[in-house]
Every structure is written in C-alpha cells, then in structure tokens.
Amino acid sequence: MCCQGCRGAAEWIEQLGLGDYYRLRKQPAQKPDPNPDTYADHAAWRRPEIARHVTRNLSTGRRETMMLIDGVRCAACVWLIERALGSMPGVLSVQVNAASRRARVIWRDAEITLPQILAVLSRAGYRALPLDARALDDVRRRESRDALKRLLVAGFGAMQAMMYAAVLYLGGTDTLEPTTHELFRWLGFLVATPVVFYSARPFFAGALRYLRAHRLGMDVPVALAVAMIYGASLIEALSGEGHVYFDSVSMFVFFLLVGRYLEMRARHRAGDLTDALACLTPPFAQRRRDDGVLERIGIHELQVGDRVQVAEGGIVPADGVLLDERCRVNEALLSGESAPVNKQRHDALIAGSILIDGPAQLRIERVGADTTLAGIAALVGRAQAERPQLARAGERAATRFVARVLALTALTVVVWSFVDPARAFTAALAVLVVSCPCAFALAIPAAITRALAVLARRGVLVVKPDAIEALAAATHVVFDKTGTLTEPELALADIETFNGVSREAALKLAASIARESHHPAARAIAGACADKQLDAAVDVQSHAGLGVSAKAGGRQMRLGRADFALPLFSSEDLLELSSGRPDCDDAVLLADDAGPIAAFRLSERLRPGAREAVESLQVQGLKIIIASGDSAGKVADVAARLGLVDWHARQLPSDKLALLKALRAGGARVIAVGDGINDAPVLAGADVAIALAGGAELAQASSDIVLAGERLDTLAPARAIARHTLLVVRQNQRWSLFYNLVAMPLAALGFVHPWLAALGMSFSSLCVILNALRIGRQAAAHLRPSGNGARAELRAGVA
C-alpha cells in the first residue's frame, strides 16, 4: 500500500466487515508492501502455539507482551501510541520507549486479543511486531541497510553538490560564461534531487505522521526546511537569477542522517543484549514421541511435559528437568560462570545452557516466554522500556522548543517583510535550519541509552533507569554479608547433637525443614543431607532474619538462630547451652518445644573479587558498612578480612531498614547490596538497590540494578559510568541551550546564511551524540569487560 494512512483505512474497512469487497474483487489494484509476511496476518498471532512464543501469562487472566514498533521517532510517537492503545478497553498498561522502540503492553485476555492490539497500532500508522528475536533482527537489518544507503547517497550527493557550488562561489560571474554558470546550477539540481527525494524521505514521512496526529515533532521543522530550501533553489534555477542552495540542502540532509545513523546504532546496541539472550534458544528441538521415535519440531511447538533429547554440544531448548543419570552443562550465559555445572537426575536444566557431554533426555517444564532465559530478557527489556524521569523532562522540553522555533520563524518572516522583504525568506530559512531541537531531544536519551548498553555489556543490568542518577550520587554502600560479600554456598562444618539424638537423624530432620527455605544456611543444611527421601515438612513458615518453623515428624520444630529456635530460653540458659564454646551462637539450632535437638555449624568463604570491589569503592570516596543478620564474631571476621571498620551484626531486616533510614536522614544516599531475595525489604529501603543474582533468581530479584554473574567487581566501574553519564547529560543540556540561545537570534536577525545554519545545526547534533558515545570509553581503561561477556557476545553474533 502506498502509505500508512491507506493501511489504516484498509484495516478499518476490514473491521467494519467490508473486507469482502477485496475478496470478491478479481484484479488487485496495487500490490501492497513487498514483505507482507512479517506483519500482514495479525490473525496468525491468535494461534496459541505462536502467541505463547511472544506473550507471557501474568496472574488473573492478564497477559504481557513486548513488541517492537517500527516508525517510532520521538516523544510524539510515544504519546500517540500510548493514547491509541491506552484508550482500548482491556489494555491495562502501555509503556513505549522511543530509544529502543519497544512497547510493553499488559492486557486482559478476556477483553482484547493480541491481534486486536496490533490492528489498533497499525491503524495509528505504526507497524508493531511482538518481540521474537528473529523477527526483530530482520526489522533491524532492514532499517540499518536503509539508513546506510540513504546516508551514502546523501554523502555522495553533498560532495558533488559542493564541488559544483564551489565553481559558482569561486569562479564568479565574470570568468564564467553564462551558459556554464547555468550548467553548474542544473548539475547541483541533478545531484541534490536524489538526496532530497530518497535520502530525506524519512524526515518527510515522519513530519507527515506528526501532522496527521496534530502534533509537532522534530521532523516537522526539518522537513519544512528541506522542502523550502530545495523549492526556493529550484525557483532560482528556473529564473536564472539569485543564489541556489542545492549544496546546503544536501549537506543538511547528510549531517542529519549521520546523527540519525549514530543514534540508530546506539539504539540497536542497547537492544543487543536482550536479543543475544533471546537468540540463544535454538529454533528446533528433538522431541521423543511416545513410540520412542525422535522427531524434529519447531521450538514453539514444544509443550510442557514433552520429552526432548539434546545432543552433545547442543543447546537446551526450554527449561526442563534431566531424565538421565547425570550430565554436565555450561550455564555461562546465565550465571557468568564458565565452569561446567554437574547435573543429576531431576535437576533443572535452563534454556540456553549448553550440554557438554550428551546426549541427554529431559522433560520440558516451562516453554517460550515462561523460561528463565525469557524472564531475563524481559527484565532487561523492561528496563529499557521504562523512561527515566530525566528523559521525560527532556522530551517535554523538546516539544515546547519546536513550537517556539516555529513561532520565531513566523515572527522573523513578518518582521523582515516590513524591513526588507527580499531577505525575509533567507532569514526564515536560517532560523528553521539553525535551530537544533535534535540536540535538546537527543541530549538525555542518547546518554542514557548509551549508559544502559555499556553497563549491560559489563553484566550490570539496570532494571530501573532512574537508578543511574541515584547510583552516581551515592555516598554510602551497605553490604549484606551472607551471599553478598561471602559465597552464597555455605558448607556444613560440624553437627553437635543434644539429648542423645544421632547425627544422621538430626540432619535428616533439619534437612526436611531446611529444603523448604532458600536461605543460604538452610541450603547448606539441606545439601549436606545425602538421603533425598525425607519426610515432608508441613506448615512451613519462614521468619525473615530468624529462621524457619515447620511441623515435621508430628512435632513443631524451629530451625534458625538460637534465640528464635529456643524462644523460652533466657540468654543465661543459652550461654549455658553453649557450655564455654564462644562460637556456639554462630550455629543454626534445631529445636522443638521440648528443647534443643542439634546445632549446625557452618563455614563461609569470601566471594572472589569482594576485597577489590570494596577497595575500589573506598577509593571512589564511598563509606562502606556491613549489616548482617549473622553473629558478631563472623561479621567481625569478614569485616577484618576486608579491612572494614563499620559493621553491624545481628541485624533483623527491620534493624537494617532502621539503619538505612538513619543514614538517609543524615543526608546520605545509600546503595544497598544484597542477594535480592532474602533481603528484598531491606533493598526496598535504599536509594539504589543492587542485587547479586545468577540464573533463575535473576528474573525475580526485586532491585534497581542486578549484577548478573554475581560479580561484585563490576560495582565500582558501574558507579564510575553512572557518574560519567550524569556529567555527559549535563554537558549536553548546557551545550544545547548555549548553542540555541546564540544561534537563533543571530539567524533571526539575518546574520546567518542558510548553508552555515545547516552546518551549525548538524555540528550541534553531532556534538551531543559523540559526547554521549564517550560514556564507557574512559571506564574501559579501568576494567576490561569480562572474557565471558565478550565471548557471549561473540557467540550471540555468530548464532
């Protein structure tokens, strides 16, 4: 079809039930878009097998999908899409990000379907694709190819036009014969025409879309300026007098396209991580049918409960459990840990991990958008779809700015037509061209997008972009100890039993309760018990910071801190219980109402890189505090090993929250670092919550920033990058303001020639973008991205 408007009309006709006209018609008038297969059939998304691949089930009949929207250019598009979709009944939330051109839509399944949502979008003039890695890549490739071609045509055109113009400028009229003069004018026209009609087409299309939506976007003044310069030059060339601006219009388009191209590259980069993750699942899987025959099926045809065979070196297609005795897998892309992980029968295998020895059989438990991998990708995507406060303020400023530019242009025309009508046109042209809304609109998004991409490449996933601002301003870091500064895996060192209970019996009893909890200490106890045939514990309740209570073997048991497990014992009794062993309060106690049963002693190791992380944070001037629920002796030990003096032991979550509150009341801005699950309430109380999470927990972590791969040493560089980002944002804003304040009055007064104005505007845009691209360059000298990360990128690229 010829344009988005026609498409919209056609959809409308279809919806009203008038579509039969097209089915009955024998000869089609004009073929629609050459690649309709990517989007024409919205109804295809209705098929559950396909819809499952792109949507995710939330609770109570709500579904969520992330889609890529083609044609989003800036704030106005975002507004339009949010309006159009938000007004539909059944649509609960719409979030659009212009920088990554993604929309996150949550809707109620009973009231609206995915095909309907897509239809609404296409009626508004936007083509939406529910995010599937392969479809996304195609759109992106087409966009980048188009942009490159347009850029090159504009570049060659500008070069040639300038050469021809140089003859006109330098040759003068006295040495050139009039016919030669005429020839060079028309040569300029010849090379500028493809530039205007081919290279500048995105600007015209964008401007049309804005005008149709009754909005002023950034493309409007640009398109207006290009059309005016070109039209005016053509008139001059026809009349054979005056000056032609074919060179400036080509140059103008070229510089604008360079800016757009760089922006597009940054945008694609930002999406790279998500797509790298989404690309990791293979397109096909080997399913074992009931009769034992293997069949090759598309990955989206996989169902929960299917038995799947993965070959050696193959990629696990969906989350499942191992049916074979044992195997080894590489989960580097999820945990950052490249060492093979041993799996035993009934262990969970995660989609995207690589089987090292095989083949292996597994039973599929979660498919498509429910897999851990998809969860991680959604987490990253959500971060990009959320517009930070900073960016929203920037967009509002840009829209106001465009309105002012147009007003000033009109004023310039009016005033000059009284003063000197001959110069009115040139001056108005100069005002339009010299004004640089792009610098305003790009100043913040360019920096934030770049920062998100740079951080993501280092394994720092920013869930809430506002966190960049808070991270940069932080003054204190509060670390949790267990699982954060130390390895999450505790090892059971010793068991002491009371009242003649055998060690094995005590361990079995404790393990049956402990396996219901995710606390590191509980996991260590559960893991130490070799016997997997345990009595099920019922009525399990975990008490944050204290322990777990449950009914096991018919008795009410408590497992945890001594004062929790034995609430009726006074502190003297507890002291007596420890019978002179000062470290007994470190132990995890198992007790029933009758008294203590056993004490479990655990040992812990410092996390690799913890010392370096702490040191480099201190170098940056941050105060570091340890707040742990653990006993004083162990916390003091860890603090001493890290060279820290400020530590708080025996902290309940409420104590930690109070500590954070006190710090913040004193004017500090606090980063809280924890494992994101056990101390979620504490993280919520900080200015920036940072969770260390790997694998399955990553998607659930409640935090602003996730350190994927559990690498503490990325924290200090991340803060350096955040600080640099804010600096760049401020520089960009100041520059845009300064440039426009200086350039626009000069242009309105008629001092700026249109070609100089074109140069100035492009220069200003380029400054902003190049400045944003500096983010991550300096920090790169301090810390190279991890080898794993680079290799992961490489693999994703090859795949």
Partner 1 sequence: MNILLVMIPLSIVLLIGAVAAFFWAVNHDQFDDMDTPSLLALDDNPVRQPIAGEELRR
Long-range contacts (CB closer than 8 Å, 24 or more residues apart) made by 203-209: 203/253, 203/256, 205/71, 206/73, 208/3, 209/4, 209/71, 209/73, 209/77, 209/125
Q: How far is the CB of 718 from partner 1 (least distance, A)?
A: 22
User: Is the previous residue joined to 754 through a cis bond, with omega within 30 degrees of 0?
Assistant: no
SS3 222: helix
Q: Is 148 in the site for partner 1 (CB under 8 A)?
A: yes
- Beta carbon nearer to partner 1, 180 or 778: 180
Burial of 708 (0-12, 13-18, 19+ CB in 10 A): buried
Among 177, 290, 291, 539, binds partner 1 (CB under 8 A): 177
**Angle formed at CA 472 by CA 469 and CA 475, multiple of 5 degrees:** 125
Establish if 790 lies at the interface with partner 1 (CB under 8 A). Answer: yes
If the CB atoms of residues 180 and 571 are measured against partner 1, the closer one turns out to be 180
For residues 335 and 341, what is the distance between their CA atoms, to the nearest angstrom?
11
Report the DSSP beta bridge partners of residue 327: 343
Minimal distance in Å, beta carbon 271 to partner 1? 14
Decide: is 35 part of the binding site for partner 1 (CB under 8 A).
no
Residue with tokens 């999406």: 271
Of 186-194, 229-237, 316-324, 683-691, the window that binds partner 1 (rule: CB under 8 A) is: 186-194
Q: Which is nearer to partner 1, 202 or 547 (CB)?
A: 202
What Cα–Cα distance (Å) separates residue 320 from each residue in 306, 345, 349, 358?
9, 11, 5, 15
Using CB under 8 A, which residues numbered 73 to 92 contact partner 1? none
DSSP state of 537: P
Does residue 794 touch partner 1 according to CB under 8 A? yes
Distance (Å, rounded) from C-alpha 143 to C-alpha 110?
35
Cβ atoms of 610 and 638 closer than 8 Å: no
Q: At what angle do helices 503-514 and 520-528 cross, to 10 degrees?
A: 130
φ, ψ dihedrals at 717, nearest 5°:
-60, -35
Are 708 and 333 contacting, i.e. CB atoms less than 8 angstroms apart?
no
Beta carbon nearer to partner 1, 57 or 180: 180
Residue found by looking up tokens 């193959």 in the block: 314
Q: Are 103 and 58 in contact, with CB atoms under 8 Å apart?
A: no
Q: Which is nearer to partner 1, 167 or 493 (CB)?
A: 167
Q: Interface with partner 1 includes 160 (CB under 8 A)?
A: yes
Q: How far is the CB of 2 from partner 1 (least distance, A)?
A: 23
Residue 384 CB, nearest approach to partner 1 (Å): 19
Q: Which is nearer to partner 1, 79 or 156 (CB)?
A: 156
Closest to partner 1 by CB, 138 or 576: 138
Residue 738-777 contact track with partner 1, rule CB under 8 A, x = bound: ----------------------------------------
The least CB distance from residue 406 to partner 1, in Å, is: 35
From the list 156, 261, 425, 735, which residue makes contact with partner 1 (rule: CB under 8 A)?
Answer: 156
Rounded distance, CA 728 to CA 724, Å?
6
Strand locations in 238-345 (E):
284-288, 294-298, 307-310, 319-322, 326-330, 341-344
How many of the chain's residues bind partner 1 (CB under 8 A)?
20
Binder of partner 1 out of 180, 303, 389, 603 (CB under 8 A): 180
Cα angle 597, 603, 609 (rounded to 5 degrees) comes to 155
- Helix 75-86 vs helix 114-123: angle between axes, to the nearest 10 degrees? 130
Does 730 engage in binding with partner 1 (CB under 8 A)?
A: no
Our CB check for partner 1 shows the closer of 130 and 157 to be 157
Residue of the chain from 121, 133, 187, 329 that contacts partner 1 (CB under 8 A): 187
Do 310 and 322 meet the contact criterion of CB atoms below 8 Å apart?
Answer: no
Give least dist CB 623 to partner 1, A: 39
149 binds partner 1 (CB under 8 A): yes
According to DSSP, the residues that pair with 606 across neighbouring strands are 486
| Interface of this chain with partner 1, residues 117 to 146, rule: CB under 8 A | 141, 144-145
| Shortest separation between residue 175's beta carbon and partner 1, angstroms | 10
Residue from 6, 9, 152, 403 touching partner 1 (CB under 8 A): that is 152
**CB closer to partner 1 out of 148 and 780:** 148
Candidates 84-92, 101-109, 331-339, 790-798; binding stretch for partner 1 (CB under 8 A): 790-798
Residue number with CB closer to partner 1 (251 or 715): 251
Q: Is 542 helix (H, G, I), strand (E, B) or coil?
A: strand
Least distance to partner 1 from the beta carbon of 314, Å? 18
Residues in the chain: 799
| Site for partner 1, rule CB under 8 A | 141, 144-145, 148-149, 152-153, 156, 160, 177, 180, 183, 187, 190-191, 790, 793-794, 797-798
